[in-house]
Structure 1
Amino acid sequence: MTQQPGKVTMATDGHIAVITVDNQAKRNAYSPDMMDQLATHLTTFDEDDGLWVAVLCSAGEHTTGGLDMPKFFGPDATWKGVPEDKVDPFGLGRRTDKPVVAVVQGITFTVGIEIALAADIVVAADTARFAQIESRRGIAPLGGAHFRYLARTGWGNAMYHLMLCDEFDAERALELGFVQEVVPYGRHIDRALELARAICKNAPLGLRATKRAARSYLEAAERAAIAEIPAIRAQVFASEDFKEGIQSFVERREANFQGR
């Protein structure tokens, strides 16, 4: 039987757009096509005046194990990045002024954290497990973790998790400010929809103006941090450790880094 490729779908519930990532056979790992689909749905949401709030969730037990790394970073990589005319799921390019509620559960690694932190409110199931593990694979976070960890939790906590590349649970994520609520698994998507419906009771233009104004407070620092991403790429992608990290991922073994 041919395995079905992962997909990202969008359904509507009144003024709410429900965007669902589904690649359960691979723990919802993102392919380049899935990332493009996500950006397309977020753009559709942003441009539809009848849609006021988005709920971004993942099917099954896990949010995501991360990227399908060889397709993004290997010699046969096909992803070219988010086009400038589409809403960037990482909030590094075009953004939406509309409210976005993210939902996480189970394995929520690397880009799963970064996409959630680019949203406005995050609801976590009590099963959620987080880890920013790019540096275990010879690369570095490229989706905003290098500055959003700082914005949410301060230098020491940010460096603790970015440098250890450790795993932490939903209660720790709540303590850090990465998530705003922790609910029992099975209630996580329903709770996000409840919040979205409550948000829809408020004036949408007022909410968008509030989000836009709040973001303006952070934008100067964020622009500087985003401008560093090409230098991060240049430094790590040219290294022997990068090649070793990708190879160890393909071979499913621990990497042996040499610092060069």
Structure 2
Amino acid sequence: MNYEFLLCEIENKIATVMINRPPVNPLNTAVFQELSQIMSELEQSDEVHAIILTGNGEKAFVAGADINEMVNLDTVGIMDMNLTSRKAFSKIENLTKPVIAAINGLALGGGLELALACDLRIASEKAKFAFPEVGLGIIPGGGGTQRLQKIVGQGIAKELLYFGEMFTAERALQLQIVNKVVALEELLPAAKEWAEKLAQKPPVALRMVKLAVNSGSNVDLESGLTIETSCFGNAFATEDRKEGLQAFIEKRKPTFIGR
């Protein structure tokens, strides 16, 4: 996999994808396209069971969209860029494998939207967050107004979106925007520890959990329960279900084969 703005390393069934546009790793159309492509490739790879997404350097995870590209676009051009970003973020959100955001520094605007599209988020204690778009005369266009409110509720979402003020990793943890905060030097080890645990889980069951949660969040309770039942049935039909239950009865560690 050769990319201009992404670095990727695969080890022990874990892919670590790094956005590589230092010093602050801004997102442009090319990065969005590369993110869509690499996630498709990793989804198809039998060597990958979990993915970590991070930014290059200590300064930024992603400090927003590339203003230098945006300032020269007309309405048609910016809508094309927006659709490209939406495709990338939706690809990550709906990937059949778990994605962990390791937030090493600034996660602003599109960078925070990218993190919100991931399944789990671990932040460095030095990380800072904001949706500054309103101060630029625009609004978040990569899902920020929608994904944020599902996590923090409408009132807090409007506060963060209206004022656009920077907030710390600790507040992000309090608001459940991130799952965990660690020292910078512990960030990737912590993300890899989680990824290693996920890589040992039965892949189909993980996929069905993700599908049930993601799809169920957009419908009423009864519809969500119907989705869950379908996902439950799909997981129960696997060889890994037989192995998991038998291992439990025999009091041994299961050996999952991914089908």
**TM over 0.5: same fold?**
yes
Q: How many Å apart are 1:179 and its aligned residue?
A: 0.4
2:52 corresponds to: 55
Match of 1:9 in 2: 7
Structural RMSD (CA): 2.5
Q: Which residue identity does 1:14 align to in structure 2?
A: N
Structure 1 residues 111 and 83 mapped into 2: Cα distance closer, same or farther (>3 Å)? Answer: closer
- How far did 1:80 drift? 3.3
Between Structure 1 and Structure 2, how many residues are aligned?
Answer: 215
In the alignment, the residues of structure 1 paired with residue 32 and residue 135 of structure 2 have an alpha-carbon distance, to the nearest angstrom, of: 22
CA distance in 1, matches of 2:137, 2:5: 28
Corresponding residue for 2:196? 197
Write the letter of the residue equivalent to 1:15.
K
Distance 1:101 1:92 in 2: 14
Aligned to 2:161: 162
Q: Which amino acid aligns with 1:125?
A: S
Q: Distance in 1 between matches of 2:205 and 2:174?
A: 29
Give 1:108 deviation, angstroms.
1.0
Contact 2:92–2:118 at 8 Å: present in 1 too?
no
State the distance in 1 between where 2:163 and 2:204 align: 42
| Aligned AA (2:163) | L
1:131 equivalent to 2:130? Answer yes
Distance (whole Å) between structure 1 residues aligned to residue 147 and residue 86 of structure 2: 18
Which has the higher Rg, Structure 1 or Structure 2?
2
Structure 1 counterpart of 2:152: 153
Please state how far the C-alpha of 1:208 moved relative to its aligned partner. 0.5
SS at match of 1:42: helix
Match of 1:39 in 2: 36
The answer for the alignment partner of 2:64 in structure 1 is 66
Question: Paired residue for 2:175?
Answer: 176
Give distance in 2, aligned partners of 1:49 and 1:181.
28
| Alpha-carbon distance in 2 for matches of 1:218, 1:71 | 34
Judging changes above 3 Å, is the alpha-carbon distance between structure 1 residues 108 and 93 closer, same or farther for their aligned structure 2 residues?
closer
TM-superposed CA distance for 1:59, in Å, is: 1.0
Counterpart for residue 104 of structure 2: 105
Amino acid at match of 1:80: D
Match of 2:224 in 1: none
Deviations 1:51-83 (A, max 9, x none): 111100111011121111241453375883488
Q: Distance in 2 between matches of 1:43 and 1:157?
A: 34
Residue 88 to residue 19, structure 1, CA distance change in 2 (3 Å)? farther
Matches of 1:167 and 1:118 in 2, distance apart?
Answer: 20
> In 2, distance between residues paired with 1:14 and 1:209?
22
Give the Cα–Cα distance (whole angstroms) in 1 for the partners of residues 131 and 175 of structure 2. 14
Would you say the 8 A contact 1:32–1:79 is kept in 2?
no
Identical aligned pairs, as a percentage?
27
Shift of 1:95: 2.6
- On the 8 A contact 2:61/2:107 being kept in 1, the answer is yes
* CA offsets 1:204-234 (integer angstroms, 9 cap, x no match): 111001111111112349xxxxxxxxxxxxx
Q: For residues 132 and 91 of structure 2, what CA distance do their matches in structure 1 show?
A: 20
Q: Does 1:30 align with 2:27?
A: yes
CA distance in 2, matches of 1:6, 1:176: 35
Give the SS at the match of 1:182. strand
The answer to whether the 8 A contact 1:16-1:51 is kept is yes
- Residues 81 and 75 of structure 1: is their aligned pair in 2 closer, same or farther, counting only changes over 3 Å? closer
Gaps of 5+ in 2: 221-259
Do the aligned partners of 2:82 and 2:142 also contact (CA within 8 Å) in 1? no
Q: What CA distance in whole angstroms lies between the structure 1 residues aligned with 2:200 and 2:209?
A: 15
Residues 10, 82 of structure 1: alpha-carbon distance in 2 compared, 3 angstrom cutoff: farther
* Inter-partner Cα distance in structure 1 for 2:92 and 2:169: 28
How far the C-alpha of 1:187 sits from its partner, in A, is 1.2
Structure 1, unaligned stretches of length 5 or more?
222-260
